[in-house]
Amino acid sequence: MNDTTTPLEDVSHVPHTSMPLQGAQLPRYAPALAAVIALGIGALLALLAGFGPVAALSVAWLLLAVGLPAWSRAVEGSRKAADRVAGVLVWSAFALAMIPLVSLVWTVVTKGLPILSSQFFQNSMRGILGEGGGIYHAIVGTLIITALATVISVPIGVLTAIYLVEYGKGSKLARVITFLVDVMTGIPSIVAGLFAYALFVIFFGPGVRMGFGGSVALSVLMVPIVVRAAEEMLKLVPDELREAAYALGVPKWRTIVKVVLPTAVAGIVTGVTLAVARVAGETAPLLVIAGLTTGTNFNPFSERMATLPVYIFYAVTEPGIYDEEMTAYAWGAALTLVTLVMLLNVAARLIGGLFAPKTGR
């Protein structure tokens, strides 16, 4: 019997060649290098031709938008070059959007910081003309009115969102409520102020001015934002969590309180903070119903109450003979208001991280 088995060839001596998994790529610093070169050429052309800074930046951007993709096409190929074009456009849009924001923050900080002092935060404007005044009364009014508006809006908004997601899903009433919430989102703030004024005129007569009226007006603006934010967060809770609770015999209301809300609390808190930041700088409704006073008023149910936005408005539009001092006060109040909104956002992130569901490894 002949053995027809062919012996395997010994290939141990044949050198192995590995194929690269990816083609040639530009170095990581290529976009930064291209941007520096483009800016340098733009600045050089500006010096030689007498261009202004805007024209120089435009030339530099054009060189970057053309040069970086061309370099990428020569080294990496056409697909990566198209990605470079998209990257340049996205970063350019981001930089363009940041220009007014950075300019605004810089202007507020540079103009408002010199006026800040302990006296500025401890004094009100009662009996003060020109120097020596402060914004203590406006800070107190802003905090009280915004806090009352939050107390009014959060329960209404969260309970409405719970109904829309948990109880009224797909019903005609839920669709009507959703439509009305969307309409309320676009209501002009002055209309909310007029609504609150008309409501309080019924009970207190014409010419009524009080801080609680400002809270009601702001709550009209806050409720739709809270509803939409809470609704979206509740929708993100997996249905498996609800079904697991139901399978264990847990009532629906207890499932919502113990499972659904704790899971969505981080997003709900963020939405509430956004709503507070949205109304903290409102001026029109507070002009109509809360008014302005030079003294500190701790009772929102009696008399006028000053707020930072209204204080800024009157300091700029009606400075009297102390135009320079009141303008400085307005910038200081604006910086204080921006800082308060920033602190609210920081607090929202901290609270959201504190109450977010803990996931184990």
Residue 304 exposure: Cα atoms within 13 Å on the Cβ side: 15
Does the pLDDT value for residue 359 go beyond 70? no
Q: Which residue has the higher pLDDT, 37 or 350?
A: 37
Distance CA 56, CA 63 (A): 11
Residues 6 or more apart in contact with residue 140 via CB below 8 angstroms = 296, 297, 298, 306
User: Do the Cβ atoms of 285 and 312 come closer than 8 Å?
Assistant: no
Residues 211-247 pLDDT 10s? 999 999 999 999 999 999 999 999 988 889 888 999 9
Average pLDDT, integer, range 136-142: 92
Nearest to 223 by CA among 152, 167, 136: 152
Residues 288-308 pLDDT 10s? 998 888 888 899 998 899 999
Nearest to 310 by CA among 295, 338, 296, 330: 330
Count of beta carbons in the 10 Å neighbourhood of residue 356: 15
Question: In angstroms, what CA-CA distances link 11 with 5, 6, 8, 196?
Answer: 18, 15, 9, 90
Look at residue 22 in the predicted model and tell me its pLDDT.
Answer: 60
Reported residue count of the chain is 361
Nearest to 281 by CA among 221, 361, 210, 233: 221
Distance CA 69, CA 88 (A): 9
Percent of the chain with pLDDT over 70: 91
Percent of the chain with pLDDT over 90: 32
User: What does pTM read for this prediction?
Assistant: 0.78
As annotated, the residues of the chain forming the CATH 1.10.3720.10 domain(s) are: 120-355
Residues 24-68 pLDDT 10s? 777 888 888 888 888 888 888 878 877 778 888 888 888 888 888
User: What's the sign of the alpha-carbon dihedral 334, 339, 345, 347?
Assistant: negative
Distance CA 227, CA 168 (A): 14
Look at residue 56 in the predicted model and tell me its pLDDT.
Answer: 82
Asked if CATH classification 1.10.3720.10 holds for the domain at 120-355, the reply, yes or no, is yes
- Residue 80 is which amino acid? K
Does the pLDDT value for residue 128 go beyond 80? no
Does the pLDDT value for residue 14 go beyond 70? no
Residues 272-288 pLDDT 10s? 888 888 888 888 999 99
Look at residue 332 in the predicted model and tell me its pLDDT.
Answer: 92
Residues 6 or more apart in contact with residue 163 via CB below 8 angstroms = 174, 177
Work out the angle at residue 118's Cα, subtended by the Cα atoms of residues 115 and 119, and round it to the nearest 5 degrees.
75
The region of weakest confidence among 16-25, 184-193, 203-212 is 16-25
Look at residue 1 in the predicted model and tell me its pLDDT.
Answer: 47
Does the pLDDT value for residue 16 go beyond 70? no
**SS3 assignment, position 28:** coil
Does the pLDDT value for residue 10 go beyond 80? no
